[in-house]
């Protein structure tokens, strides 16, 4: 019974399952507000509250808000609130690890839909070279530093109040998310102060880049996402992990070929067991595309919940008995 | 006058090609007869393969008269692309001593017998399925130089650049470009375009053939092994030149028969026969010298790590978006990155593969054969032996060539090794 269930799971059509989960999550975090659903403001995804209909909010908002409190208050009782916020964030996070990105984040899902659009037009995706990849991969940490440091500088009085929620001002999700519920008001540049003007202008540029970027490059924004960087700091604490058995890996590169994030280690690293990398969105496409039994597996605690198998691979890649061409039959004397 | 004419009719002088054919037929039939009669009940489905080899090598039957034949010098040329363009890949790696001797006149004495035989065969121009063009990946030194030599015989030979390291990103990009160029060149020559549809269908078809191989391998993991390693070599060797549809059909039948055999507990070796993983220079029909000695010495080959068998089928192609270039890139990655050929600077992958095969197939030992003159396998011997020692895996290293002469000495060594494995197993119990 157990092995039968395992086989069904390992043989599943991951792309379809994922599409369904993403569709439901997108509806929830973009339109959940219509049904009075609210899951709090410590979510580990880009569920943007600038879109009034979201069923929750991105943790980076309260984080920036809390950290921008005057230093004395922050070091006093308010510090506890920050810690409590992080704990709540962690509570959500540990259940899904980075699968929040690959399955739940509406902003991630939107990029996947742009990918479907590009694919249906018949345009091939772009990739970074290894050199570009290594350089650009650091940007998300710079953005995370902006999320944390700018509010702290406000707190000590080094920066003015107009720097508040600085990251949100440049974040493309702020501009694009409300659009889904018909609110185009974020597509503007705020001319109230010089700082706001610069920040919101950068935001507009980023939003434009986002739309073009994610059209030509799979999961374009996730590569730069500070939330992704924050996830990575805590990813070891999660119940769910992506693991690899290097002894079974032949380095054929199938996992790398399907990876939206171009993570090379997934194919080339045969030493690490914990193979989740900072850019990973835990979409599990690599597991689905691996033709070796149990070489890659998605674990809940220590249990292999979804493993790569030969059979599953053949099913998903559409490898089937070819239809016989009668004329090609070998005639034998 | 009349007596001379009569004399002429009686003694028709054999042409060199006829002599070559006759010698090759003798080599081929000897191995086929050994396989058919020297062992416990070969599967009935094997007769397709035995007949195929007999027809091709004893009766010079051409299989692909209606198709463009694309010769390949090594496994790194994606057959998926050739089939997609409606060509037939013919792998030119050769295992005949007769051809090896012809090649000896053209290459250094100490060159690899496989390369000498391939060159010898092509220089004789006596081919049943003569390739219309040849693609030569620049793998080892000898194969690389052989390509140029072969083109001097009048064949259309195209070098396909192949890197000698595979860890670096440069090598990946390099080989992707190389395979793209190859497909452009072939598509130009075939007057056909590589399309999403034909390439995908071809990947799926080869994938299916691979899945059949995987199912055969699966049988060999269990205690009851329903097929000899030598028969497996015959099956995989047939893939070098057979019609793909026929190969698939015959192998499907073999899979079905083996399923039945497993149910009947039909084990092709003895109860205590040691289980061997075979690695090294590829056994190519009819040079089954070492594999035959092994299975004659009461051992059974349960898996192999060679380019004439496992390496040809093991790795698969996955694609995220089925655009032509994505498929080509993924094909290139598979043929480069998963390749465990010893031509690469580092080759930990090969060692890992051997260890994994030993573990997954419950093998008792490894036999590593290198052709005398196959420098890269000879060079890698030390590191593999060291790694096996570290893992506590027994290994025997043998050097051999295509000549029929050293049989006695080789079988003594193999028998001693097999005996030592048996003693080890007995002591363990």
Half-sphere exposure of B319 (CA within 13 A, CB side): 24
Residue A327 lies in a domain: no
Examine the domain organization and report whether A213 and A249 are in the same domain: no
Count Cβ–Cβ pairs < 8 Å, chain A vs chain B: 110
Beta bridge partners of B134: B71, B157
pLDDT score for B10? 67
The structure tokens listed for A110 are 């939107």
Round the average pLDDT of chain A to a whole number and report it.
92
Structural domain harbouring A299: 239-316
- State the Cα–Cα distance between residues A6 and B118, nearest whole angstrom: 48
On whether the CB atoms of residues B333 and A256 are closer than 8 A, the answer is yes
Q: How far is the alpha carbon of B19 from chain A, nearest alpha carbon, in Å? A: 25
Q: What percentage of chain B reaches a pLDDT higher than 70? A: 98
**Cis status of the peptide bond prior to B286, with omega within 30 of 0:** yes
Residue A263 lies in a domain: yes
Residue A96 lies in a domain: yes
Could you report the predicted ipTM of this complex, rounded to two decimals?
0.90
**Closest CB from B169, B252, B349 relative to A130:** B169
CB-based contacts of A296, cutoff 8 Å, min separation 6: A242, A243, A244, A245, A255, A266, A275, A286, A287, A290, A307, A308
Examine the domain organization and report whether A78 and A185 are in the same domain: yes
Beta bridge partners of B304: B278
Examine the domain organization and report whether A33 and A155 are in the same domain: yes
At A332, the pLDDT band (50, 70, 90 cuts) reads very low
**Closest CB from B210, B330, B352 relative to A257:** B330
Of the three residues A194, A210, A232, the one that is the final residue of a domain is A232
pLDDT tens digits along B3-33? 566 655 667 899 999 999 999 999 999 999 9
Beta bridge partners of B395: B366
Examine the domain organization and report whether A88 and A219 are in the same domain: yes
We report the CATH number of the domain holding residue A279 as 3.30.70
Interface of A with B (CB under 8 A): 119, 122, 124-125, 129-130, 246-258, 260, 264, 267-268, 270, 285, 289-291, 310, 313-314, 317-322, 324-325, 328-330, 332
Of the three residues A232, A258, A278, the one that is the final residue of a domain is A232
pLDDT tens digits along B190-228? 999 999 999 999 999 999 999 999 999 999 999 999 999
Q: How far is the alpha carbon of B279 from chain A, nearest alpha carbon, in Å? A: 16
Examine the domain organization and report whether A198 and A264 are in the same domain: no
Examine the domain organization and report whether A294 and A146 are in the same domain: no
Q: Which residues of chain B make contact with A322, given a CB cutoff of 8 A?
A: 201, 204-205, 208, 245, 248
The structure tokens listed for B1 are 């006058």
Examine the domain organization and report whether A188 and A243 are in the same domain: no
Q: How far is the alpha carbon of A210 from chain B, nearest alpha carbon, in Å? A: 21
Residue A270 lies in a domain: yes
Dihedral (CA of B338, B340, B346, B349) sign? positive
Examine the domain organization and report whether A218 and A150 are in the same domain: yes
Of the three residues A216, A232, A248, the one that is the final residue of a domain is A232
At A328, the pLDDT band (50, 70, 90 cuts) reads very low
- State the Cα–Cα distance between residues A16 and B160, nearest whole angstrom: 39
Domain count, chain A: 2
Examine the domain organization and report whether A76 and A199 are in the same domain: yes
Residue A4 lies in a domain: no
- State the Cα–Cα distance between residues B235 and A276, nearest whole angstrom: 40
pLDDT tens digits along B364-376? 999 999 999 999 9
DSSP state of A75: I
Residue boundaries of the structural domains of chain B? 16-339+349-428
pLDDT score for B347? 87
Examine the domain organization and report whether A215 and A266 are in the same domain: no
Residue A124 lies in a domain: yes
């Amino acid at each position: 019974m157990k092995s039968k269930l395992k086989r069904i799971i390992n043989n599943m059509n991951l792309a379809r399952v994922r599409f369904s989960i993403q569709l439901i999550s997108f509806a929830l975090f973009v339109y959940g507000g219509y049904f009075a659903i609210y899951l709090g403001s410590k979510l580990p995804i880009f569920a943007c509250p600038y879109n009034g209909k979201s069923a929750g909010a991105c943790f980076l908002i309260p984080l920036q808000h809390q950290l921008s409190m005057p230093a004395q208050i922050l070091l006093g009782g308010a510090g506890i609130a920050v810690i409590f916020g992080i704990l709540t964030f962690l509570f959500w996070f540990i259940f899904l690890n980075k699968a929040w990105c690959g399955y739940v984040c509406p902003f991630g899902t939107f990029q996947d839909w742009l990918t479907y659009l590009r694919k249906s037009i018949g345009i091939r995706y772009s990739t970074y070279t290894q050199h570009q990849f290594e350089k650009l991969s650091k940007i998300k940490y710079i953005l995370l530093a902006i999320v944390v440091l700018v509010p702290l500088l406000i707190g000590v009085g080094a920066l003015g109040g107009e720097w508040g929620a600085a990251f949100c001002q440049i974040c493309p999700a702020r501009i694009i998310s409300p659009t889904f519920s018909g609110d185009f008001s974020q597509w503007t540049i705020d001319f109230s102060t010089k700082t706001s003007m610069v920040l919101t202008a950068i935001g507009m540029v980023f939003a434009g880049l986002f739309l073009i970027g994610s059209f030509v490059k799979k999961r374009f924004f996730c590569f730069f996402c500070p939330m992704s960087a924050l996830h990575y700091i805590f990813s070891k604490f999660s119940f769910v992990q992506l693991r690899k058995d290097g002894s079974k890996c032949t380095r054929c590169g199938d996992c790398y070929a399907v990876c939206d994030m171009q993570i090379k280690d997934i194919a080339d690293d045969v030493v690490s067991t914990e193979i989740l990398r900072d850019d990973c969105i835990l979409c599990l496409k690599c597991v689905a595309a691996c033709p070796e039994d149990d070489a890659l597996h998605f674990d809940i605690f220590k249990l292999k919940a979804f493993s790569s198998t030969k059979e599953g691979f053949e099913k998903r890649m559409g490898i089937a008995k070819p239809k016989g061409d009668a004329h090609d039959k070998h005639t034998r004397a | 006058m009349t007596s001379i004419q009569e004399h002429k009719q009686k003694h028709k002088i054999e042409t060199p090609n006829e002599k070559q054919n006759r010698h090759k037929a003798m080599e081929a039939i000897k191995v086929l007869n050994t396989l058919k009669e020297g062992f416990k009940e070969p599967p009935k489905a094997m007769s397709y393969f035995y007949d195929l080899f007999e027809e091709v090598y004893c009766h010079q039957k051409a299989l692909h008269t209606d198709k463009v034949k694309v010769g390949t010098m090594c496994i790194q040329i994606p057959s998926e692309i050739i089939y997609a363009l409606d060509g037939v890949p013919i792998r030119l790696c050769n295992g005949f001593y007769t051809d090896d001797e012809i090649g000896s006149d053209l290459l250094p004495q100490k060159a690899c017998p496989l390369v000498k035989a391939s060159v010898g065969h092509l220089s004789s121009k006596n081919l049943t399925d003569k390739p219309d063009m040849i693609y030569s990946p620049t793998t080892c030194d000898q194969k690389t130089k052989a390509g140029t030599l072969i083109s001097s015989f009048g064949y259309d030979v195209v070098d396909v650049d192949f890197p000698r390291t595979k860890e670096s990103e440069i090598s990946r990009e390099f080989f992707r470009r190389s395979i793209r160029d190859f497909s452009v060149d072939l598509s130009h020559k075939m007057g056909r375009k590589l399309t999403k549809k034909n390439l995908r269908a071809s990947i799926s078809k080869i994938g299916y053939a691979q899945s059949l191989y995987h199912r055969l391998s699966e049988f060999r993991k269990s205690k009851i092994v329903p097929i000899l390693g030598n028969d497996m070599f015959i099956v995989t060797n047939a893939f070098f030149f057979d019609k793909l549809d026929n190969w698939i059909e015959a192998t499907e039948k073999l899979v079905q028969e083996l399923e039945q055999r497993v149910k009947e507990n039909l084990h092709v070796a003895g109860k205590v026969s040691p289980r061997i993983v075979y690695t090294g220079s590829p056994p190519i029909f009819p040079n089954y010298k070492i594999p035959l000695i092994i299975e004659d010495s009461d051992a059974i080959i349960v898996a192999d790590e060679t380019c004439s068998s496992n390496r040809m089928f093991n790795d698969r192609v996955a694609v995220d978006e089925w655009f032509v270039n994505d498929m080509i890139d993924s094909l290139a990655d598979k043929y480069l990155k998963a390749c465990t050929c010893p031509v690469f600077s580092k080759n930990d992958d090969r060692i890992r593969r051997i260890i994994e095969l030993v573990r997954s197939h419950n093998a008792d030992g490894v036999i590593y054969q290198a052709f005398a003159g196959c420098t890269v396998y000879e060079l890698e011997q030390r590191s593999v032996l060291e790694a096996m020692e570290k893992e506590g895996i027994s290994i025997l290293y043998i050097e051999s060539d295509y000549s029929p002469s050293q049989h006695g000495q080789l079988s003594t060594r193999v028998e001693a090794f097999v005996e030592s494995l048996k003693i080890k197993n007995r002591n363990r119990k």
